[in-house]
Every structure is written in C-alpha cells, then in structure tokens.
Homo-oligomer: A and B are copies of this chain.
Amino acid sequence: MSINKISTKINKGNFFEDFKIGQKIIHPLPRTITQGDVSFYIALTGSRFALHSSDVLAQEFGYEKRPLDDMLMFHLTFAKSVQDISLNAIANLGYAEVSFLNPVFVGDTVRLETQVIGLKENSSGKSGVVYVHSIGYNQNNEEILNLKRWVMVHKKDKSKNSGINEVPTFAKTTTISKNINIPTLQNIDTNATGGTYFWEDYEENERLNHTEGITIDDSDHTLATKLYQNNAKVHFDDFMMKSTPIGKRLMYGGHVISIARSISFNGLQNAQWIYAINAGAHANPTFAGDTIYAYSEVLEKIDLNREDIGLLRLRTVALKNMKSNDVKSRFDENGKYLKNIVLDLDYTVIIPKKK
C-alpha cells in the first residue's frame, strides 16, 4: 500500500502576515434566505418583534411582506467573513459604523465583500490587529449591511516584527443617512405590536430593566452558529477547547447580541428596526448554561424631522447569571467590566412617533 501524499489543499485561514492594507476579499458562499431561517431565528432567540412575526402587520406598515429581523440578516451575511478574516482570530475586539441600509426578505440571496483598512502588530510580536470594512449585498447588488470591525489574529512567524501600526479612526456613532429606507408609517396597531410607547415617550438617561432571562444550552448556540455558516472553531470543537485554558466551547458573541435584543422587546416593543450599531464590545465570554439578562439605557433621542419615526440611541447591556435589577453600573471601581457583563452594545433603533 502506497503512502498517501498529504494534501496542501486545506484552507488554514489567514494569519496576520497574510493581510495587506487595501486588500479586497470576496467572501464565498452566497446564502439564499429561507422561511426556515426565519423560524429558526424565533426558536433560537424567542424574538417577538411583531414586524418580523407577521406578514399582515408588515403589510399594514407598507411592506410587501415581513422583512428579516436585522440581526438575522446581520448573522447570515457577516458569517461569510469568518473563514477569511477571523478563523485564526484570538478575539473579536470591536465593531463600528455598522448600518442596516435596505430591508432583506425571504428569497433574497446575500453575500459579503471586505477591504482591509488597518493593521497593527502587537508589541509581543505574536499577533496583530486587523481592521476591516465589509459590505453586504443582496442579489440586486443593493447594499444591505455596511460595517467595520477589528479582530486580533495570530501571526505565522512570531520571531519577526514588522512594526506596522496603521490604525484607522472610526466615527463615534454611525452617520445618519438622509434617506432611511422604511415605508412611511401610518397608524401603528399597538394591539398587534404589544407596545404602547412611542418615540416621544422615552427620555434620555431612562433605564429599562428588562425582566426576562434566557438560558442558553450547547445545542442552541451551536445550531445558531452553524445556521449562519460561521465556522470559527472555538464555537464548535469541544475536544480542541478542552486543551485550552477556557476548557469548553465559547458562544458566538453575535448570538448574545440576538438574545439581548430579544429580551429588550419588553419595554421597546415598537422599536422594530435596528438602524445602526455604533460600537459593541463582548466584555466577557458566554458559555452554555449561562442565563442572559439585559437592561437598556436611552443615550440619545434623535429627531429625523420625519413625522412618522424617530431614532433612539440605546446602550443595551447583557449580563450572565445576574438580573438587570441587581447591577447599578457595568464597571467596577477600577473602570473594568464586571465579570457578569457579557455585552455592551451602543446602537440606534427606529421607533414610530405618536400620531
């Protein structure tokens, strides 16, 4: 029996040295969205935002049918970048200037392209930070997602140090477009949406302690992450993770965002659209068995000079195994995140005005 030749066709992902500023990457694997994805998203998160639950309501809002939940679209589109950008990531460090530009529907096919916009080698010489700008498109080449993020990635050769240090600057909040692509809203049926509060009812610095808690199990978060075709090994490979200090599978941080957003329904029922994510940090890791709670703060009220809708800039904080009532500040006395804080998300939602 001949000795087999070991193939070099296996994609081991990109390392820090593989990225160049200005480099463009077309991520493979366009994804057609199905009715199954919509049901999965509800089953995985318990989401109850009515616009994404009912075609009848969506039609009253002026849509042909219900658009996808923004975070579901985000996950299905974003995940395409994992195999090229973050397969060898040590950590997802942050997001900025994320915007949700056009509605996406069942039957649409989404894809993603990325440009490298910054590189910074760490002083240790073992890793570096890669800054990217990604744009998601539907089958008609309309932009559906626009985002920047930065990840810490392993180096191949830890003995050399290029000293590269080109860090882009990010807007503190995503720029607000003049044209927000949602239909002009007529009367909102609060019997259907389940919420009686509108843009005018919220105040800056108001804090909503959402009451629900959702426990996440291994099958839940791995089904979610596989559904999105995100193949980062830390989420799936328990055998490998057992040989690391962490000792078990890490939950995909995006799933925590979705769970927190779902929990935020109670108090923000009419805030059915995410307009932008301004900044996001996964403050601590989440594992199977953790129960997620969340609270939201109104950071800013933004008037669009549209009669039907306004914006709320929110901070939603997700906690593990600690109720939202039980935390005053997300930081300890040294300015570090409490160990129960798992997500600190600064984002902007669209909410109807009163008639």
Q: A109 to chain B: which residues have CB within 8 Å?
A: 54-56
Which residues of the partner chain B approach A240 to less than 8 Å between Cβ atoms? 213, 291, 323
Asked whether B30 lies within 8 Å of A54 as measured between CB atoms, the reply is yes
| A162 at the B interface (CB under 8 A) | no
Which residues of B have CB within 8 Å of A323?
Answer: 239-240
Cα distance, A324 to B31, chains bound together (Å) = 29
Alpha-carbon separation in the docked complex, A7 to B6 (Å):
61
> Does A212 contact B227, Cβ atoms closer than 8 Å?
no
- Asked if A46 contacts B214 (CB within 8 A), the reply is no
Decide: B29 and A38 in contact? CB cutoff 8 A: no
Residue of B nearest to A28 (CB): B194
Decide if B54 touches A226 in the complex (CB within 8 Å): no
Q: What is the minimal beta-carbon distance from A24 to any residue of chain B, in angstroms?
A: 11
Q: Are B43 and A226 in contact (CB under 8 A)?
A: yes
Nearest to A66 among chain B residues (CB) is: B32
Given A9-B208, A208-B7, A237-B212, A229-B48 contact (CB < 8 Å): yes
Given A42-B227, A223-B44, A321-B239, A6 contacting B207 (CB threshold 8 A): yes
- Asked if residues B31 and A40 are in contact (CB atoms below 8 Å), the reply is no
Contact with A207, one of B5, B30, B38, B266 (Cβ below 8 angstroms): B5
* A3 nearest in chain B by CB position: B205
Which residues, 142 to 198 on A, are CB-close (under 8 Å) to B?
190-195, 197
List A residues 204-228 near B (Cβ within 8 Å). Answer: 205-215, 217-220, 222-227
Q: How far is the CA of A83 from the CA of B193 in the complex (A)?
A: 13
User: Is B229's CB under 8 angstroms from A5's CB?
Assistant: no
* Set of chain B residues within 8 Å of A5, measured between Cβ atoms: 203, 205-207
CB of A236 within 8 Å of the partner chain:
yes
Q: Is the CB of A215 within 8 A of B236?
A: yes
Say yes or no for A11: interface residue by CB 8 A criterion: yes
Contact A30 B57 (CB under 8 A): yes
Q: How far is the CB of A94 from chain B (nearest CB, A)?
A: 22
Which residues of A1-15 are within 8 A (CB) of B?
Answer: 2-7, 9-12
Q: Which residues of A contact B (CB under 8 A)?
A: 2-7, 9-12, 26, 28-32, 34-40, 42-48, 50, 53-57, 66, 83, 106-107, 109, 111, 139, 190-195, 197, 201, 203, 205-215, 217-220, 222-227, 229, 231, 233, 236-240, 249, 266-267, 269, 289, 291, 293, 297, 321, 323
